[in-house]
Chain A
């Protein structure tokens, strides 16, 4: 049987069937004529005998159609009907779609972030959320990376993971001279690409054979991004040489385009074997000076081993195995002051990782998103209910004609689903448009550092949106639909337009109360966030960043060695101080308030015997002369650094007040005491005590801090700060010009005001406040809209009642007051519920707030005022309109 014949067999041949019927009629008529009937009568009577032609054809057709086609046809006709009836009521349809779009859009955006940070944190690697990370922890909870020899031991002996790879991110200089720039580079173990399953787009990735001995593997793999941006997608890139940190590495391949490294938020552009770390100048806090020895030093904190657990191995299992390994390691190769223990955590909880830092903020956004969705759903429920009431006539007719209630409810639900899909699609589009705006904002703040978020709107996000849209349309359209189907035929046919259903009234009341309560919670959250950002912005960090520049350079980028670098920075200080309008100039290794802690250095304090297992490590900064004067940090005792504190002078240090208090009981006692900072030479004499400032974040507690003289302890990469009374932009330009005059080929990494350089510290607060504000405003608008709709509908339903009241002598004023008091009663109930919930929930915000308490009365008062105001306006307008109805026309309508 040919395929066409087969297809024909699968359905009724319409023409053939009709011909057969015609033949039947002709034969039947002939029969009758033969029996003596008149030919015309015979034709007619045979037609009559046959019965219903259409039904017969239909029945014959149904023989051939499978049952599911039948069911589908029913659905399609429902959908078609729904589309027609929705098109007839565009205001309703567009409102529902719009409400869903907002609710879904914001939730899809939050979900995308959650996906990019926790569910699928590494772009281009499937199942990255299943990665587990090993790190070391000291007795007082300080988290550390693992040394290379310890990593090797774990990798070779572990049985819990399918394999352990290691990676650490660092900033490297790419190129030399004017065109040099900085890039994020991951130093990785040889099995990194194999375990992650990342393939090369060109050439090869790194292999285990790239991890034999330090200095023997001068190779690099590029990211697709840098290959396109910096090398114009050169097809012959493999085999070319790149200058990285003044060392030369050969390109062996380009990684898969989707892959941006495993360091969440960082856009990693280069991947090099860990064996190149010594030649690229990475020290990992090692005391060893010969390059080859750094990777052999068990005190060097190189990276956190990570990998996929073997099937069937739980995290607790793996932790126990790693614990046992670490005990064996400590027995076989004992090490003085080693970290206390090794821990295993899922990828998103890895120390130093962006997910751990971002998740608290994100969880607040998730909660806000859900609240907003609730409001949107209450809105839709209200709309469906109101529409259902105004369609009672139509529904009554359907029921009267014999439609079952199931059929009517099904139709109403299909209508909701028909609205849900465009809502989901538009919501996803909204998220897709909105996320790049947020990301662009974050990128701008992070420049010149490159950042990358795995925030693509993919099938997972679309699935989420469709699921949420259909779920909310079903859940919140179902009850009202059910109510609509419970139509009392008699009352509708008697044209009694005022519904007396108590249940319906209760539902409406509940919807108003719920919307008020939830929007109050949203507004409280948004208010707290706004006030907290405001407080963080205006808080005093302990220094004055206004009128100060921050211009960042790295002299290695033009090939300076230490001797030439020292000369350069001396000259730079002299020329910067001489600038017009410059009060003072200085150098610094880091800008304070960079949000993330800078690595702490182990410290020894002369005369202080650390308790067993006590881990003395503090953050530090290398700063130039006049640093405290330039940043206006008070010096409480002794002096700050001066020009004479250089490599020829005796080693000195400045400590902060907290450190002086802790070890010597006060600032004055600290002068002349000695400390030793790991990695920064021998014992140093404390010459001054500076007041405490905020070092990383505005909300950090006071902590010990150490300043080292930059002129004494050489750093190739420094930031020039100049203070002057003129406009800071002019100062920035001046500083830039001074650097260019000294060396036109030295690239300037970033040149901006100190205020903008510190913006990273408030980045999270800013982003969260922006999002919360959007959520709060959207929620408020939706709640107001929903309340307005429900109240105005109630008013419309009461036209009859108003007519009677006014006919009996009530004034317009008293009518308005009656509605208003009803509205305010509902709002008060909603507010009370919302307040209770908000008080319970804002406590969770505690750690994210700064400068305001979780029960801040101002935020609560503002939210209450806004909500009550919204409800009053939403009640007044329709009530006022109702009070102007002509009692006669209202009554006549009945």
Chain B
């Protein structure tokens, strides 16, 4: 998954939104640092989605700016210093909104891709 930060690109909104959603989702299980977020998304997607640091860190800044996550320095299990991101209540609400938007989108795409299927059924 390659993400550009060009804001004039209309496509970017969708992609930004998607990456943001993935990050928020990852933080549902507790605070994590940037590297771990990237690794988690990669592992969860069975190595399909590789989030580049160049997209991840600006995205984290964007989420912090919107107040959906907060950041705090702490220690990793391996006793490394790292900055941990935590979901805020605002962020949780946003994640719910994103999830419903996402499933609507997937449904819609699914209906387009499999026109024979009864509308409203999942895959």
B101 within 8 A of A: no
Q: Which residue in B35, B61, B65 is a CB contact (below 8 Å) of A27? A: B35
Total A-B residue contacts, Cβ distance less than 8 Å: 66
Which residue from chain A places its CB closest to the CB of B78 in the assembled complex?
Answer: A30
A785 within 8 A of B: no
Shortest distance in angstroms between A613's beta carbon and chain B's nearest beta carbon? 79
Q: Which residue in A17, A27, A55 is a CB contact (below 8 Å) of B80? A: A27
The 0/1 profile, CB within 8 Å of A marked 1, for residues 76-120 of chain B is 101011110000000000000000000000000000000000000
**Given A27-B33, A59-B5, A20 contacting B54 (CB threshold 8 A):** no
Would you call B57 and A51 a contact (CB within 8 A)? no
Would you call A24 and B35 a contact (CB within 8 A)? yes
A130 vs B61: C-alpha distance in the bound complex, in angstroms? 58
Would you call A26 and B61 a contact (CB within 8 A)? no
A674 vs B33: C-alpha distance in the bound complex, in angstroms? 117
Q: Which residues of A contact B53 (CB under 8 A)?
A: 21, 24, 49-51, 56
Q: Which residue in A26, A28, A31, A56 is a CB contact (below 8 Å) of B58? A: A56
Would you call B57 and A21 a contact (CB within 8 A)? yes
A56 vs B53: C-alpha distance in the bound complex, in angstroms? 8
Residues 36 to 66 of chain B near chain A (Cβ within 8 Å): 36, 39, 52-54, 57-58, 61-62, 65
Interface secondary structure of A, over-half rule: helix
A52 within 8 A of B: yes
Would you call B82 and A60 a contact (CB within 8 A)? no
B31 within 8 A of A: no
Which residue from chain A places its CB closest to the CB of B5 in the assembled complex?
Answer: A59
A20 vs B34: C-alpha distance in the bound complex, in angstroms? 8
A51 vs B57: C-alpha distance in the bound complex, in angstroms? 12
Which residue from chain B places its CB closest to the CB of A20 in the assembled complex?
Answer: B83
A707 vs B35: C-alpha distance in the bound complex, in angstroms? 109
Would you call A28 and B35 a contact (CB within 8 A)? yes
Q: How large is the interface on A (under 10, 10 to 19, 20 to 34, 35 or more residues)?
A: 20 to 34
Would you call A63 and B65 a contact (CB within 8 A)? yes
Q: Which residue in A24, A31, A52, A64 is a CB contact (below 8 Å) of B61? A: A64
Shortest distance in angstroms between A469's beta carbon and chain B's nearest beta carbon? 34
Would you call A55 and B61 a contact (CB within 8 A)? no
Q: Which residues of A contact B78 (CB under 8 A)?
A: 27, 30
Would you call B83 and A63 a contact (CB within 8 A)? no
**Given A20-B34, A27-B76, A63 contacting B61 (CB threshold 8 A):** yes
Q: Which residues of B contact A891 (CB under 8 A)?
A: none
Interface centre among A55, A56, A64 (most CB of B within 10 A): A56
Which residue from chain A places its CB closest to the CB of B83 in the assembled complex?
Answer: A20
Which residue from chain A places its CB closest to the CB of B3 in the assembled complex?
Answer: A59
A52 vs B57: C-alpha distance in the bound complex, in angstroms? 12
A632 within 8 A of B: no
Shortest distance in angstroms between A112's beta carbon and chain B's nearest beta carbon? 47
A836 vs B108: C-alpha distance in the bound complex, in angstroms? 74
Shortest distance in angstroms between B60's beta carbon and chain A's nearest beta carbon? 8
Q: Which residues of A contact B33 (CB under 8 A)?
A: 23-24, 27
A56 vs B57: C-alpha distance in the bound complex, in angstroms? 7
A27 vs B58: C-alpha distance in the bound complex, in angstroms? 19
Which residue from chain B places its CB closest to the CB of A21 in the assembled complex?
Answer: B57
A19 vs B7: C-alpha distance in the bound complex, in angstroms? 26
Residues 4 to 48 of chain B near chain A (Cβ within 8 Å): 5, 7, 33-36, 39
Would you call A26 and B80 a contact (CB within 8 A)? yes
Q: Which residues of B contact A19 (CB under 8 A)?
A: 83
Would you call A30 and B80 a contact (CB within 8 A)? yes
Would you call A23 and B5 a contact (CB within 8 A)? no
A62 within 8 A of B: yes
Q: Which residues of A contact B65 (CB under 8 A)?
A: 9, 63-64
Shortest distance in angstroms between B65's beta carbon and chain A's nearest beta carbon? 6
Would you call B80 and A60 a contact (CB within 8 A)? no
Shortest distance in angstroms between B67's beta carbon and chain A's nearest beta carbon? 9
For the A-B complex with A20-B83, A27-B76, A27-B82 known, give 20 more contacts whose Cβ atoms are closer than 8 Å: A9-B65, A17-B57, A17-B61, A20-B34, A23-B33, A23-B35, A24-B34, A27-B78, A30-B78, A50-B54, A51-B52, A51-B54, A56-B57, A59-B5, A59-B54, A60-B57, A62-B7, A62-B58, A63-B58, A63-B61
Can you give 19 A-B contacts (C-beta < 8 A)?
A9-B65, A17-B57, A20-B57, A20-B83, A21-B57, A24-B34, A24-B57, A24-B82, A27-B36, A27-B80, A30-B80, A51-B52, A56-B58, A59-B58, A60-B61, A62-B5, A62-B7, A63-B65, A64-B61
> Which chain B residues have a beta carbon within 8 Å of chain A's beta carbons?
5, 7, 33-36, 39, 52-54, 57-58, 61-62, 65, 76, 78, 80-83
5 closest A-B pairs by CB: A59-B58, A59-B5, A63-B61, A56-B54, A51-B54
